[in-house]
Structure 1
Amino acid sequence: MLKKRKNINQNFETYNKLGGLEAPPEKILQIKFQPPAIYGVSVLISLILNYFFIYFKTNISHLLPIGFLIVLFGIFINMWSMNKYRFYKTSPHPKHQPQKLITDGPYKYSRNPLYLGTFLMIFGFGIASDILLMSISAIFSLILIHFFVILPEEEYLTDLFGNSFFEYKKQVRRWL
């Protein structure tokens, strides 16, 4: 395993010297569904169901301020997370190999602040816009992301960062 990793790293360095932006296939996190697609499809389905089925209508408009605050908190978490990626000159994109394990900022409190922030934005928007199905779909999206993205991602990061990621997992919870 160690010898294989060394060869992969040498290939990746050569690839980057040639101007490649994406990691070679053996260095890419292999996931079946991209998180933005999961969230996007769930929002689309919730909007379609809300439009066509009147019995899904709710009256939670009195919760608009709470929903709005949840959306703002989600935006804040995502912006804070993305600033950390820029600061450490690495990318959250699955086709790019992480250059550093980020453990500060929002990553000090959650191992998945980008997924959490996006969930909060969709969940809060569902409440603020009186579309309860959107908030429910955000919960289902988070469950799908947990099993089909986060678990493989954590295995990948353990392989990539070894004991550093293992120790990080012991100190920081997956969500909060």
Structure 2
Amino acid sequence: MSERTGWQRIARRIRVPMGFCFAGFFLWLARPSAVTLACSLLLVLPGLWLRGYAAGYVRKNAELTTTGPYGYTRNPLYLGSMMIAFGFAVAGGQVWIGITLAALFLAIYLPTILSEEKFLRGVFPGFDDYAARVPRLLPRLTSASAGDAPEDRGAFSKQLYLHHREYNALMGAGAIYLALVIRLLLRR
């Protein structure tokens, strides 16, 4: 087993627990203000929307999802997570939080994405064509699936959204905002 493959496996396993650990560390050291909280919404709300929208399209391990937000970026769930995380970095009012997040995303999410792409390439023969048309993370301006027949485009599924429990991201964001507001009020 190569070192890269070993780290990819570790990164996939630790990404969620690391997120919770970092959230606790973040809340302890954050110095929110009314302005940073308001500005953070410019990233957090679209990030939550993107994650929820993407969750309503993806059928994990059952099909190669190329429609909806997956026509713009191959990783809308991760892009949404990054938007949320960097939005909270803004809310925290500390530059080092954003720098630390960037390092963590490179160390944890890049290997995870590469590992998932290897899996998708092995399971879905159309993955390479899809990957050639749709960027890994930063989205295209127009959907790569725009020319597909309507029956091939897929549609948002509330059942998939609920199945993937994406509402947890919304509840988590609400809890973090509540903690930040309490922290702000206690500092006054």
Give how far 1:167 is off: 0.5
Q: Which structure 2 segments of 5+ residues have no match?
A: 1-7, 139-188
Change in 2 beyond 3 A, CA 1:61/1:37: same
**What is the Cα-based RMSD across aligned positions, in Å?**
2.4
Correspondence for 1:79 among 45, 49, 52: 52
The question of 1:127 aligning with 2:90 is answered yes
Question: AA paired with 1:44?
Answer: G
Deviation at 1:128, TM superposition (A): 2.0
CA distance, structure 2, for counterparts of residue 158 and residue 128 of structure 1? 38
List runs of 5+ in structure 1 lacking aligned partners.
1-29, 52-56, 92-97
| Larger-Rg structure | 1
* Residue 173 of structure 1: aligned partner: 135
How far apart, CA to CA, are the structure 1 residues paired with 2:19 and 2:100? 8
CA distance in structure 2 between the aligned counterparts of 1:137 and 1:44, rounded to whole angstroms: 14
Q: Distance in 1 between matches of 2:25 and 2:129?
A: 39
2:21 aligned with 1:41: yes
- Residues 66-116 of structure 1 deviation map (CA, whole Å, 9 limit, x = unaligned): 21110001101100011112xxxx23xxxxxx1000011111111111111
1:101-140 maps to which residues of 2 (within 5 A)?
101-140=64-103
Helix, strand or coil at the partner of 1:155: helix
Contact 2:51 2:81 in 1 (8 A): yes
Q: How far is the alpha carbon of 1:133 from its aligned partner?
A: 3.6
Partner of 1:158: 121
Shift of residue 142, structure 1, vs aligned partner: 1.6
**C-alpha separation in 1, matches of 2:40 and 2:100:** 15
Does the 8 A contact of 2:26 with 2:92 survive in 1? no
Larger relative contact order, structure 1 or 2 (CA cutoff 8 Å, min sep 6): 2
Provide the C-alpha distance between the structure 2 equivalents of 1:146 and 1:126, rounded to a whole number of angstroms: 17
TM-score (norm 1): 0.63
1:115 maps to a residue whose letter is Y
What does the per-residue CA deviation read over 1:19-43, in whole Å, with 9 as the maximum and x for residues that have no partner?
A: xxxxxxxxxxx82233323333333
| Corresponding residue of 1:62 | 35
